[in-house]
Amino acid sequence: MTLARDFFKIGPARLFVHFVVLVIVVLWLIPTLGIFISALRDKDQLVVSGWWTAFAGSSRTVASRLGQPDQQKQEGATYVIAGNVLEGQEGRSVRAFGTRVQQPAAYSAGETADLGDGVSLLVNSDGSYRYIKNAPFGPDDGGRRVYVSIATPPEFTMQNYRTVLTGEGIGQSFINSLTVTIPATIIPILIAAFAAYALSWMEFPGRALLIALVVGLIVVPLQMSLIPLLRLYNMVGAAFDAPSKTYLGIWLAHTAFGMPLAIYLLRAYIAGLPKEIIESARVDGASDFEIFVRIVLPLSFPALASFAIFQFLWVWNDLLVAMVFLGTDRQHLVLTGALNALLGSRGGNWEILTASAFVTIIIPLLVFFGLQRYLVRGLLAGSVKGG
């Protein structure tokens, strides 16, 4: 009774908000669930039915041939060729059959089909058939084609993932993406944390100008700065006779692209920390570095986790920067590049594509759900008060 009263006290506005959030969550989860189930299905079932039918089985039409005249047996006034169209396909059953490609399911299983000229055909659900004629079968009657609609039980397998991780180059690309993403997430966080502390609690000339510059850099499109940055990178590499395609280059590129937002988010949080804590530490003789390491960093973990989520997702899903700074050779191709190549070469193999797609999203999902409790707290903590 109390729960019912509390439910009606929520109000129509909050109920509507909760309903909209629920709809958004469901719409977001359905494609992910579909990819996950599809990647576990047998490739033959995946081609003929949607993932929502995975637990109900599926049906597919196959062509088979009946026996030869030398297999016929006389039964009274008729001649019969018997056999099984499901030989070697245990666990399956026949739903319907037909003798014309235009009508492959013209007759239900267990129904006798009159084929004319004294010829009939009976195909049972277990696949056994009786091909009957009121005269001996001649050479032209052997090996007649029949179309069978076969019902198959649900089949799930890990073979799709094994094929992707071992035979499609996705495994190496997965390692390459981790090699790019982890340092490209940690490096800008470390640098931005130092910069955010300095812009929040250290007095020096030009601080306000630097803050405005950081805010302005957030709106600069990545595509606008990509070519100048690449040219500068190649000039430096040529001056030191260094390789043009290295992981260090893409780490620095992602660090440069992520730094403005990182500094902005972390400064908003660090500036909102209680001023008394910082002043007390300075009175006790702590240096700025000690204050930053022992006080600010532990208290800023929600903000650090918030930016880590954004940066990790951006770098993990990046294709443009990776192709520019690493190239497209197999040894350095990231996961998004490998998946893009797979769409061109194996576009009809849905079992490969779905398994590859789920491998691509599993790490971001783990990162998001592992850190999501800090996301809102880290984004909003600096919005109420700031320094």
Query: pLDDT for 361-373, tens place per residue?
Result: 888 888 877 777 7
Q: Which of 61-75, 81-95, 151-165 has the highest mean pLDDT?
A: 61-75
Region 270-280: mean pLDDT is 87
Residue-level pLDDT at 380: 57
Both tokens of 369, joined, read 């759900």
Region 57-85: mean pLDDT is 85
Cα distance between residue 71 and residue 65, in whole Å: 13
pLDDT at 384 over 50: no
Confidence of residue 4 (pLDDT cuts 50, 70, 90): low
Residue-level pLDDT at 185: 92
User: Average per-residue pLDDT in the chain?
Assistant: 82
Q: Which of 141-155, 164-178, 302-316 has the highest mean pLDDT?
A: 302-316
Query: pLDDT for 248-258, tens place per residue?
Result: 888 988 998 88
Question: Picking from 32-41, 142-151, 241-250, 254-263, which range would have the lowest pLDDT averaged per residue?
Answer: 241-250
pLDDT at 340 over 80: no
Region 144-156: mean pLDDT is 84
The three-state secondary structure class of 330 is: coil
Confidence of residue 2 (pLDDT cuts 50, 70, 90): low
- Alpha-carbon dihedral angle through residues 42, 44, 50, 53, given to the nearest 10 degrees: -60
Question: Picking from 100-104, 133-137, 175-179, 379-383, which range would have the lowest pLDDT averaged per residue?
Answer: 379-383
Cα–Cα distances (Å) from 339 to 170, 179, 347, 387, in that order, read 8, 17, 10, 45
Q: What percent of the chain has pLDDT over 70?
A: 89
pLDDT at 379 over 60: no
Residue-level pLDDT at 386: 42
Cα distance between residue 182 and residue 161, in whole Å: 23
Helices (H), 271-349: 275-283, 288-291, 297-299, 301-316, 320-326, 335-345
Domains of the chain with bracketed CATH: 2-54 (no CATH), 58-152 (no CATH), 161-383 (1.10.3720.10)
Does residue 176 or residue 1 have the better pLDDT?
A: 176
Region 297-321: mean pLDDT is 87
Cα–Cα distances (Å) from 165 to 34, 235, 319, in that order, read 20, 37, 20
Residue-level pLDDT at 387: 41
Among the listed residues 153, 42, 48, 156, the one whose alpha carbon sits nearest the alpha carbon of residue 92: 153
Instruction: Indicate the pTM of the whole model.
Output: 0.69
Cα distance between residue 124 and residue 112, in whole Å: 9
Residue-level pLDDT at 315: 92
Residue-level pLDDT at 245: 75
CB of 112 within 8 A of CB of 120? yes
Q: CB count, 10 Å around CB of 233?
A: 20
Q: What angle do CA 232, 208, 223 make, to 5 degrees?
A: 30
CB of 277 within 8 A of CB of 295? yes
Cα distance between residue 113 and residue 4, in whole Å: 62
Does residue 293 or residue 4 have the better pLDDT?
A: 293
Query: pLDDT for 160-203, tens place per residue?
Result: 888 777 766 677 888 889 999 999 999 999 999 999 999 888 88
Among the listed residues 37, 61, 63, 64, the one whose alpha carbon sits nearest the alpha carbon of residue 155: 37
Region 289-296: mean pLDDT is 89
Among the listed residues 238, 229, 236, 237, the one whose alpha carbon sits nearest the alpha carbon of residue 321: 229
pLDDT at 229 over 70: yes
